[in-house]
Amino acid sequence: MSGQAEILHLHGPLTIKTIANVRDIIQVYLQEAAALRRSLVIDIDGNEDIDLTLPQLLLSARHTADQTGVTIALNKPADGNFLTVLQRAGLLGGDQQEDSFWLKGKAA
């Protein structure tokens, strides 16, 4: 991958009502990142309305990114509503490598 990254800013409610659109947007960005041999950085506002569908989608996106050779990362550590959803879902299990995706941001 080159040193450049595609940056995707996700705004507005990130819930089951909007997740299909968010999925489509992430797919386009992943395809573009793969074509340009770049990483993908996702910026999420933790103060937005967020439910479990967002972390589920991001886990799936990470799997797809791994298969296509794209590095995917969050722009900053999860915070606010996003962090609360991750905690309630049990996605922060103490595995330092796995938790670093959610808690370290692009510097991880």
pLDDT in tens, the chain (108 residues): 456 899 999 999 999 999 999 999 999 999 999 999 999 999 999 999 999 999 999 999 999 999 999 999 999 999 999 999 999 999 998 888 889 999 998 644
The per-residue pLDDT for 10 is 95
Q: Is residue 23 part of a domain?
A: yes
The per-residue pLDDT for 80 is 95
Cα–Cα distance measured from residue 32 to residue 16, given in angstroms and rounded to the nearest whole number: 25
Of 53, 35, 50, 101, nearest to 73 by C-alpha is 101
Q: Is residue 51 part of a domain?
A: yes
Q: Is residue 108 part of a domain?
A: no
Domain that holds residue 53: 5-103
CATH of the domain at 97: 3.30.750.24
The per-residue pLDDT for 58 is 97
The number of distinct structural domains making up the chain is: 1
The per-residue pLDDT for 3 is 65
CB 44 within 8 A of CB 10: yes
